[in-house]
Structure 1
């Protein structure tokens, strides 16, 4: 009897602990991916494609096999379009990363940027230095069975996005009620995307990191057709 009561809780504690530790690993990789993406963009005129590919390559170990050169190459080929593959990613779909270019703003890039970029006379103060600042959102797919659903509902309830109410069918007196309030730092675009994926039973957690670096090459207007790298919403 004691085993029947405690075994489900023990299994959840084990699975939940594993999922949380893997989530922490993904958090560290998100910070590294933000650095690598900005480093690439700084020498590639702020190219979205180059930054997106670099970020995905850095994040692959958190959700795909990369234990050999062949596995790494295959995983990157499958995910290079910045979209989860349902056959490879346990049914997950949607974007892998969002990249929001905070700086430079498109309207702030001078038309003669490439001609004057290396002119020492241009830099009279620190404000004249062109910096690339990118905010990266990694839609980390939680893949540990059962723990992914429970943790997802806990996160949503804590953020005030989706309350959880349930009654124990064996003991109706036991009723769960998880709720909280929206964290102001969570953007409306992220809230909307998180709810949409949850409704499709795709349990993800949006990990965020920001990095800034001086540009080593001039920002090109052609690379800033949109301020954020597609498919990142403009409101992010």
Structure 2
């Protein structure tokens, strides 16, 4: 017959084991959900890049319709605008969009303060890879549809508009966002984490060290990522690219700077 003391010891041992393994179990569940949501964010970023290039190719490479098209493509992944209140879906989408876009002259998309959490920076960066500022001569490029190669690719003729979109995807799952952000910083060689391990409470030094040969990351993206994470804005930069031939001539007035508003040149 098992004594009362033995049962008490077994109960205490089970409690200790549960306390040690529960954080990891919770993180595995929440982390899996977060990773699948990031995959959805990747798909939405690719769609937004396509919409931006399509809008730009039809509007002389103008950043305003490009930024508007990209934000409209990303918006369902940024905010759940369909819940609560009356109105048609189109009206709700328009309201959510207008709250997060800048003026028509400076369409830098922002998170809506007080509704989108602690996110204060742009939702995305949009860098125009082609055409370059110096490639658009005169008021507009009259040879934009020349069948000879103008893109640098011998397999393509005509002027191409190519965009690289960096979507600052906001991690949405509590606890997982903080842990994944610290892991990302260590993975890219940006910061060590030598405090208590949130996945194993008994481990006082997690030992998450910056990788010896970290993956290459653009310095502008690296600095922005560190700045946001350290201010409690848990984001991950998702990259998407797209390109197509220009359907309208590129105008020099739209290429006074290489990248669209809110995006640092040199990206």
Aligned residues: 230
How far, CA to CA, are the matches of 1:112 and 1:220 in structure 2? Answer: 6
Residue 176 (structure 1) aligns with: 206
Please tell me whether Structure 1 or Structure 2 has the larger radius of gyration of its CA atoms: 2
RMSD: 2.0
After superposition, what is the alpha-carbon deviation per residue over 1:167-221, rounded to whole angstroms, capped at 9, x for unaligned? Answer: 469646x53111214322x100000100111121100000011111000001011
2:131 to 104, 127, 150: 104
Unaligned runs of 5+ in 1: none
The aligned residue for residue 245 of structure 2 is 214
CA contact (8 A) 1:90 1:143 kept: no
Whole-angstrom distance in 2 between the partners of 1:116 and 1:195: 43
Which residue does 2:101 correspond to in 1?
80
Query: Structure 1 residues 26 and 163 mapped into 2: Cα distance closer, same or farther (>3 Å)?
Result: same
SS at match of 1:177: coil
**In the alignment, does 2:174 pair up with 1:151?**
no
The two structures have a TM-score, normalised by structure 2, of 0.80
Match of 1:130 in 2: 159
C-alpha deviation, 1:70, in angstroms: 3.3
Return the TM-score normalized by structure 1. Answer: 0.90
Aligned 8 A contact 2:144 2:246 in 1: no
Q: Does 1:233 align with 2:264?
A: yes
CA contact (8 A) 2:136 2:255 kept: no
Which structure shows the bigger proportion of residues in helix conformation? 1
Cα distance in 2 between the residues matched to 1:175 and 1:80: 43
Instruction: Flag the structure with higher strand content.
Output: 1
**Are 1:83 and 1:96, in contact at CA under 8 Å, matched by a contact in 2?**
yes
For structure 2, which runs of at least 5 residues remain unmatched after alignment? 1-14, 83-88, 103-108, 151-156
